[in-house]
Structure 1
Amino acid sequence: MMYGFQNKYISRLAQLIMVLGLCACSQQEIKDSGPSRPLDFSGSPDAVPKKETRTRAGNKSPYVIFGKTYRVLSDSKGFREQGEASWYGKKFHGRNTSNGEVYDMYAMTAAHKTLPIPSYVRVTNHQNGRSVVVRVNDRGPFHGNRVIDLSYAAASKLGFAERGTAPVSVEAIDTGNPPLRHAGVVPVGTAAVRPTVGIAQAPPSSPQPQNPRAGRQSFLQVAAFSQRQSAEQLLARLRNSIREPMRLTQARGLFRVHIGPLAKVNDIAAVRQTLQALSLGSGFVVNE
């Protein structure tokens, strides 16, 4: 009897351990994290507000997440709100944002549910008075009462990366962008402008070179990062799927990932298909 009792006890204990293990795995899967080693972002420059074209990418309206409908504002002018800010980091680093850019947790960017993309906002931490300027290029957060999801760098500079959330004020910065005629449509007569801070954005209709060999070489720029390590990580990922030559260039404080030179228009099209399969957008052509 004692032997049977022990077996029954051990069996139940094993089941309990298994359940606890599954719970831990589930928590680990959804847990986000920052850099593997402490970094000081106190001297990192804020995003620099500038006039940019708002494209269809990232501005679909209305859109539905978890059964709730959201509508993108036609203009960010005068927008203000207060609430909880959170941050997202390594779990999404290198993935596409809502407008097709590549998320860089070391850049001064943010996600918002209803502001037009891109927009610039000043975020102020009520607990310590610190503020940063970030560029909105993603959608979210869709959790609880959180009003904005900041990059890890921005959260660190605001002083709440360790805690995870903080009460903040969000104030839009007017860059003179014309209002969207309706959310998701590019205003007529505007020209595509790439951001100078964070990730390089591909124009919605990148021109196709007719003859890449005509005196110049053609490259596909996949992304640009504010940190060299981020660019090198993307290069390593690309080399597992693409056999074309690649390079890393630096200019104006950004590290750019280029594929090429690509000799033929068909080569460019083939690489773009691979990038899309990897959820890395289509890149844009750089001729030199």
Structure 2
Amino acid sequence: MSKKIIRRAAIVFTLMGLVGLTGTLVAPSAQASQMGTLATCNATWYGAEGEIPEGWPTASGEPFSRWALKAAHNSLPFGTRVKVTYQGRSVTVTINDRGGFGGATCLDLTYGAFIQIANPDLGVIPVQYEILP
């Protein structure tokens, strides 16, 4: 892994508050139980009918299902459980994929997860997310 990628990852984790007082990286779930909501950002959805074949491997190797309560995030470890809230409605998803997001978008929810909290016609919604233990 290049030094540039490592440096960028360190900056992201620092900004997310995942670096402990000693300056060492701690597991997100351990820190999250103390921190509560970690971020407010935009969330999108993926998995429109016919977009990705059912069973296609995600970045984690887990088979894709558009109805699963899953999400993609650029840096959270696979298996991290995240509570995503939009206008008082929440869904708990598990990170199993990566995404190429830009700007303030940080989560890409599966279609099944997105429809639990919003109308998919919205496309992009502002959410709060909290890493669960």
Same fold flag (TM > 0.5): yes
Equivalence for 1:260 = none
Equivalence for 1:83 = 41
RMSD of equivalent CA atoms: 2.5
Larger strand fraction of residues? 2
Equivalence for 1:150 = 109
1:92 Cα deviation after fit: 2.6
Tell me the distance in 2 between the aligned counterparts of 1:61 and 1:108: 33
Counterpart AA for 1:92: I
Contact 1:141 1:149 in 2 (8 A): no
* Equivalent of 2:52 in 92, 116, 119: 92
CA shift in 2, pair 1:173/1:155, >3 Å: same
- Percent identity over the alignment is 34
Structure 2 SS opposite 1:162:
helix
Tell me the distance in 1 between the aligned counterparts of 2:77 and 2:2: 10
Equivalence for 2:94 = 135
Contact 1:70 1:113 in 2 (8 A): no
CA shift in 2, pair 1:167/1:61, >3 Å: farther
Query: Unaligned regions of 5+ residues in structure 1, if any?
Result: 1-59, 175-288
CA shift in 2, pair 1:102/1:82, >3 Å: same
Tell me the distance in 2 between the aligned counterparts of 1:62 and 1:96: 29
Structure 1 SS opposite 2:39:
strand
Equivalence for 1:102 = 63
Number of equivalent positions = 109
* Bigger-Rg structure (1/2): 1
CA shift in 2, pair 1:62/1:145, >3 Å: farther
CA shift in 2, pair 1:137/1:82, >3 Å: same
Equivalence for 1:116 = 77
Query: Unaligned regions of 5+ residues in structure 2, if any?
Result: 14-25
Contact 1:120 1:172 in 2 (8 A): yes
CA shift in 2, pair 1:97/1:63, >3 Å: farther
TM-score normalised by structure 2 residue count: 0.71
The higher relative CO (CA closer than 8 Å, separation ≥ 6) is in: 2
Tell me the distance in 2 between the aligned counterparts of 1:138 and 1:63: 22
Structure 2 SS opposite 1:97:
coil
CA shift in 2, pair 1:62/1:109, >3 Å: farther
Tell me the distance in 1 between the aligned counterparts of 2:39 and 2:129: 5
TM-score normalised by structure 1 residue count: 0.34
